[in-house]
Amino acid sequence: MNLSPSNGDDLQRQRRRDRGPVAALLGHRLLAVDRAAATVEVEFRAEPHLFNPMNVMQGGFTVAMLEQALLDAVAALADRPHEAATLEMQCNFLAAIGPGPLRCRAGLVRQGRSTAFVEARLFAGDGELAATATSVVALTAAAGD
């Protein structure tokens, strides 16, 4: 077992994982994989195309960012390759999010054979906790596994 806080090869491999075009729309970038803590850290960008008429991020896109980070955590930290699909997700919106970079820390709470439980916290640029989420993710063996 590798207990180093952030393994460079691991991070590069996880960064290269195909996430589809939606990742660019959210300004997604994987910053770190910490296997010892069972967490990943992900950067997003809050930009006007994701905002509501109040000029802050529409809650649904906050959900989108948190969900992406939760799936990143499953992909990076599960004990073997899986196809992962979110079954349900609860998101709480603690503070309005204005433009700029955001940091999200997502952690694998428990992983079974066919289910993973994940949680995430999204921080605004000034470090303020802006949103939290938990999700239940269905795991199926990756194709060719």
Partner 1 sequence: MERMSSAQAIARLTKRPPVGASELLAQEPLQIDAARGFARMAYQGKAEFCNQLGVIHGGFLAAMMDEAMAIAATAARGFDYVVPTLGMKTSYLAPAGPGRLIAEGQVVRAEERLVFLEGRLFGGDGELAAVASATARFRKVPWK
Which residues form the interface with partner 1 (CB under 8 A)? 17-22, 24-26, 48-55, 58-61, 63-68, 85-93, 96
| Least separation in angstroms between CB 95 and partner 1 | 10
* DSSP codes joined into one string, the chain: ----S--HHHHHHHHHS---THHHHTT-EEEEEETTTTEEEEEEEE-GGGB-TTSSB-HHHHHHHHHHHHHHHHHHHSSS-EEEEEEEEEEEE-S---SEEEEEEEEEEEE-SSEEEEEEEEE-TTS-EEEEEEEEEEEEEPTT-
| Least separation in angstroms between CB 57 and partner 1 | 8
| Least separation in angstroms between CB 107 and partner 1 | 18
